[in-house]
Amino acid sequence: MDNRQAIQQSIREQGERVRKLKSENAPKEQINIEVAKLLDLKAKLGDEPTPKATLKTPKGTRDYTPKQMAIREGVFKVIVDCFKRHGAETIDTPVFELKETLTGKYGEDSKLIYDLQDQGGELLSLRYDLTVPFARYVAMNKIQKIKRYHIAKVYRRDNPAMTRGRYREFYQCDFDIAGQYDPMIPDAECIRILYEILNGLKLGNFVIKVNHRSILDGLFEVCGVPGDKFRTICSSVDKLDKTFWEDVRGEMVDDKGLSPDAADRIGKYVQLNGSTDLVEELLKDENLASSKRAKAGLQEMKLLLKYCKILGVSDRVRFDMSLARGLDYYTGVIYEAILEGAELVKSKDTKEQIGVGSVAGGGRYDDLVGMFAAKGKKVPCVGVSIGIERLFSIMEAVLERNEEEVRTVETEVLVASAQPDMLDERLKICTELWDAGIKAEVAYKVKPKMLDQYQYAEKASIPYLAVIGEQELKDNTVTIRNTTTREEVPIQRAELVSQLKKKLQPDSS
């Protein structure tokens, strides 16, 4: 034991001695002498006062208040209802994977993966998204066809921008279709799902940008991009929604070694957007026509836009040649949803503008499962991922701006009484309501004040109170009070559950 540890042990022993003397009501002089010895021992340590722990969440994370959680649950319900409406089943996977499972799947974004310390001989990483774990799951379980959704947290060692909905820990909501099907039918359904969710959340106008990796690869080919630079140039093009073409061109030429002529040829195409007319125009383009990949991609894009029109979403879909999505595993159609005008929403508290950019994206990844499967057996996949935190940022800002109230509890009935000795009766009624599936609460006091109970019901937007008192006991009734209108109606005790259920029906007045 070193000197410091010896002093700490002496402090503990001397402290115990002081406490014992105080408990025995020893003479004050004797206690003072022992206290002085204790202080001398503490002084020998020479410690500064212990600083208070820093109470904050880690960078890029946040806590959620009851109000914020109520908003989240509402969003999740819209999303899950849509996924189930389209016939999906759900799965779950570990929050961390073997590092080798994630390595080499995300292109330049691989640097954002959180690596964990060696645990028992396994090198692990926190999952970056839900798509690669899904592909591993499909390969490991030898699945040939599945339509699944998965809602879970993912982790990215990104530079967070909280007001823009960019975090290091955040939820993703994924829908994927795995299996061999005819071209563009599952792809179009994924776009329809994205359309239904954004419509259901009522966040305003949005556009779903679509493109095709084969079109981009063919474009790079005819523009003179070396094959080994396709993916890195693709990552540069993907930044066009965040910056100007001049900046992207500079990155291609100065940082990635692309020739200025090739960059200029790319620039003529990647700034184009439109619909079926643009596809027809590009199919007639002599340069692109010389690339089999570009031609095949354009034919599939034409078919996709046809199905989008049939599914009633073409008014929100735009063929955009600048859309690239930097992840390496995409092989076919890619898409991304953008909220229009989101940058105009201001936070009430910080006065900062809330601009979240892309709120969802996805595409086809036919080769990813084969990277994990025995003998490289492929299972074609297509999916969509909703960036839920970004949607929350917008919804919270809109609700704050409009000063809308959000219920944080779902209680339907508060069982109340203003008279003493009614706790047993209140608990009996509450139990009866719980047994009947009615959401009910009771004040945790033997003699609660009636005004406090009224005010709590109003603050929590609890629609009804079930009031019991001496007169109600004599008459075998319960008084039902409407919190909004303050109307009170006595009903027979035996009819309490049936009457409340009737009043709680959505179409009940």
Tens digit of pLDDT for each residue in 68-82? 999 999 999 999 999
pLDDT over 90 percentage in the chain: 62
Q: Is the pLDDT assigned to residue 302 strictly greater than 80? A: yes
| 146 φ, ψ (degrees, to nearest 5) | -160, 145
Query: How many residues are there in the chain?
Result: 509
Q: List pLDDT tens digits, range 23-46.
A: 888 888 888 888 888 888 888 776
Confidence of residue 86 (pLDDT cuts 50, 70, 90): very high
Average pLDDT, integer, range 110-131: 89
Q: Is the pLDDT assigned to residue 312 strictly greater than 70? A: yes
* Mean pLDDT taken over the chain: 89
Q: Is the pLDDT assigned to residue 50 strictly greater than 70? A: no
Q: Is the pLDDT assigned to residue 228 strictly greater than 50? A: yes
pLDDT score for 343:
47
Do 314 and 304 form a contact (C-beta atoms < 8 A)? Answer: no
Confidence of residue 168 (pLDDT cuts 50, 70, 90): very high
Q: List pLDDT tens digits, range 175-216.
A: 999 999 999 999 999 999 999 999 999 888 999 999 999 999
Count how many Cα atoms sit within 13 Å of the Cα of residue 460 in the half-sphere of its side chain. Answer: 20
Q: Is the pLDDT assigned to residue 1 strictly greater than 80? A: no
Measured CA to CA, the distance from residue 268 to residue 117 in angstroms comes to 47
Compare 41 and 322 and report the one with higher pLDDT.
322
Average pLDDT, integer, range 470-489: 96
Measured CA to CA, the distance from residue 369 to residue 137 in angstroms comes to 9
Q: For tokens 């201001």, what's the residue?
A: 346
Average pLDDT, integer, range 446-468: 96
pLDDT score for 349:
47
DSSP state, residue 114? P
Measured CA to CA, the distance from residue 468 to residue 478 in angstroms comes to 6
- Burial of 411-446, coded b for 16+ CB within 10 Å and e otherwise, reads bbbbbbbbbeebbebbeebbebbeeeebebbbbeee
Q: Is the pLDDT assigned to residue 310 strictly greater than 80? A: yes
DSSP state, residue 398? H
pLDDT score for 326:
66
How many H helices and E strands in the chain? 18, 18
Q: DSSP characters for 302-371?
A: HHHHHHHHHTT-GGGEEEETT-----TT--SEEEEEEETTGGGEE-TTT--EE---EEEEEEE-SSTGGG
Longest dimension (CA), the chain: 105
Structure tokens at 250: 């500079």
Give the C-alpha distances (Å, rounded to integers) separating 316 from 67, 174, 356, 392: 31, 20, 18, 21
pLDDT score for 242:
77
Average pLDDT, integer, range 329-351: 71
The partner residues of 207 in beta bridges, in order of sequence, read 338
Measured CA to CA, the distance from residue 280 to residue 57 in angstroms comes to 52
Q: List pLDDT tens digits, range 356-413.
A: 568 899 999 999 999 998 888 899 999 999 988 888 888 888 788 777 788 999 999 9
Average pLDDT, integer, range 244-259: 90
pTM equals: 0.81
Q: For tokens 């959401």, what's the residue?
A: 439
Closest CA to 479 of 464, 493, 489, 494: 489
pLDDT score for 101:
93
